[in-house]
Amino acid sequence: MDRKEKAFKKVVEPVFRFEKGRMRASDHEPVQEYPLSLIVNGRELATLIASPHDLRYLVAGFLQSQGFVKSLDDFQLFSVCEDFGVANVIIKGELPEQLKPALTSGCGTGISFNLHQKIDIREKKVNNRESRFYPGDLFILMEQLARYAGEYRKSGGIHSAAVGSGKEILLFSEDIGRHNTLDRIAGEALFKDIDLEGKVLLTSGRVSSEMVTKAAMLGISLIVSRTSPTDLAVRLAREAGITLIGYLRTSGFNVYTHPEFLVTATPDSFSEKVTAVILAGGKSTRMKSNKALLPFSGELFIERIHRQLSAMFPEVMLVTNTPELYRFLPCRMVPDDFPGMGSLAGIHAALKHSKTEYIFVVACDMPYLNSQLIRRMILKTDGSDVVIPRTDNGFEPLHAVYGKSCLPSMEEALRNGKVKIVACIDWDKATVVTKEEIAVDDPEFHSFRNINTPEEYFRFREEMEQRCVEAEEENCSAQR
């Protein structure tokens, strides 16, 4: 496949919809943006950024409006190759030796320089809390942008943009040209010595590839718009590590790239120093199908677990060697360094990639998680390498907290072919949660139940349906 053909090849990626405090997979498709190289009389004249339809009309009209042709008779060769994004035209007469470009004030200059060069931006400091964002803060920032945009209310037809940090707008600009607003912000930041790395860019207009390219060069981490991004903008944002959000309204917004940088837990979350981890590497031999993808009550097992954990932790991470199966989850995914070596390899990978000192680990087939019990365990991390529950069935290593100090012993065990988790624990630095403590929050010890067989799965469904019936009956009795 040719380089340009690869560049224009459409890649379908999941979009996530944030609404009512939750983020779920959606199916919105951004508008298409197509770069077309225009070669006239053997000379590369411009790159036209446009919608990918009726390109011959675009080329002919562009050359006529620039005064290079007056009628179809002025064309000696007219070829548009959509597969390679090139228009090759030969016209009567010669082009001027020197062309003086005029950058227009519209929604783009129409000409792009170095658009397809790989974006070279500084690596994002993902462990810096300023590079993670709370949805509530984004609504506040967009409301501020609307208040700042006084010129729009006076005359209309003017674009506005701002750069913010946290809940505060730092820089604001307006212009009749959408792209000019970002250039103005960049210039003001230069004069005022304001570092834009890790900040939020808010814009009233559509997000194009040019906007994303400029934002990436400035180190912007997140772009928010009230309207849609283009498909090329989405691709460039994904490559640049930028979170791209569109259609932000009071009801919610769409997330097109890197949803893992959004924190759906409350800002005062108790577990700021802990990352939640879901292990999804099991073979599901007894179930004979992927346990993580079992449906229940309108969602999958792993969606249920992710939803509960994302309301409690700043980040939820998935350890899997098959990330293509879980693209509907808005979280970071990491593989095992020691594939085929079970849950210990998954915990090792999670600790290695975690940005926090501790991780809370659960398996993807544990749908009975108890938030109060998890909180109790997190509060016991101070001074401990491991916090692990113990019941009459023994230790529960797949519902436990691990610190990065466990990494050396785990790696040594894996290199020696040993896969038993509890054998890697330094018990002098471990805190055991007793069954009496567990019973305070989870008297039936449901937190540790796995769904391993079809029989257990159907029993689980029956139990949950019965609970719903009982709850509804209690509600009706209370209303009487």
Would you call 424 a catalytic residue per the annotation?
no
Q: What are phi and psi of 295, to 5 degrees?
A: -85, 145
- What's the rounded Cα separation, in Å, for the pair 421 and 374? 20
Token digits of residue 77: 């060769």
**Which of 81, 107, 406, 468 is flagged as catalytic?**
107
| Residues with catalytic function | 107
